[in-house]
Amino acid sequence: MKYTYIKGVFGRLAVLSGLVAGAFAFASCVNDLDVDLGDNEPLLVVNSIMDTDDTDHYIYVLKSSNGDIDTVRSATVKVTINGVSVGNVSKYADNSAWRDYESASRYGFSGKISPGDVVRIDVSADGLSACAEATAPSEPEIISVDTATIKKYDKGLERMEEYLELGTRIRDVQGENSYYRLKIKRGVDVTFSFDNEALGYDNPPEVRFSVKSVDYEIFSDPILTNGYSLSVDEDNIFNDLAPWNDTRIFSDELFRDKDATIHAYYDGSEDYIRQALPEQYVTETKFGAGNFLSVCFQHISQDTYGYFQAINVGNAMGYEANPIVEPTRIPSNVDGGLGFVGIATSAEYRFEDYYPIVYYSEYR
């Protein structure tokens, strides 16, 4: 496993009474050095996080170029699960990607991945080659999920906000140091058909809404916040000092070989659909079978945990200015290249028939 380290301005400094003096002393001893690293040979960059809960999986193939990234002209991607080829791995056109290189670098394959399976990815492009292997961790266990509707005061909005609290009781994988991720999925499956004549369209397409993953608040849950007390109060100093956890990862350090309850707070932002047309122009509103809310508890490897932690650091605001931030290493398990390939093994607790509320526009 290869690592690249990134670190805050002050590095590992303890929060002691002499923190400020120590920081100034550190800053005053810095010498600027001119370093010429020269040109680096290009390498393939391969990234993929697969999920046992999915049958469609995606691989991103790029190329490093002197500290930047670039697309490859054409890549050949081969995937095996336990030594057996998955068959066709095709380029996936993603028109929604906000970066051109994302759209040009995505490859997909279909296959069922189970705990213990070994997935190998071989990539060749532009005269370069790289490969990586990942093993699916053992299956985690959700014991139960309890729900409650609560209200918290949002000082920024100056009002009470309503949340669905999801208390997920989980069981730690026994006899090892384990790493996890908690996701909330919101399935919205609604299709609208329209009055073509009234709208003046020859053949307008149906409009379908579908959402599969949503964000949630973690507030003061000590497992998800690494012991920090977070809140919706923007004046709470711990909100800024706490490690950034956009990816909602955690270890079993606080509940090793035991059960634990994790509290997530969903604000219902995906429970409402705002149709852009007045209701009289809609001839049919059809709710499909994919309306649900679920908690997804994922078991990941320590290296995958490190990969998500690196993403957290990249997303963090003011990371370099945080005097107590931990140095972060970016793992790479791609032989002959850069990037990371990992697998999350999922357990899901689903609330079926969780239907959204539809609002229609008053204007055309």
What would the mean pLDDT of 50-78 be, rounded to a whole number? 90
Q: Is the pLDDT of residue 318 over 60?
A: no
**Average pLDDT value over all residues in the chain:** 82
Confidence of residue 108 (pLDDT cuts 50, 70, 90): very high
pLDDT in tens, 142-179: 999 999 999 887 777 788 888 999 999 999 999 999 99
pLDDT in tens, 9-37: 333 323 323 333 344 344 444 455 565 55
For the chain, the domains span 141-299+347-360
Confidence of residue 257 (pLDDT cuts 50, 70, 90): very high
pLDDT in tens, 259-310: 999 999 998 888 888 888 888 888 888 898 889 999 999 999 999 999 999 8
d(CA 348, CA 139): 11
Confidence of residue 242 (pLDDT cuts 50, 70, 90): low
Model's pTM, two decimal places? 0.81
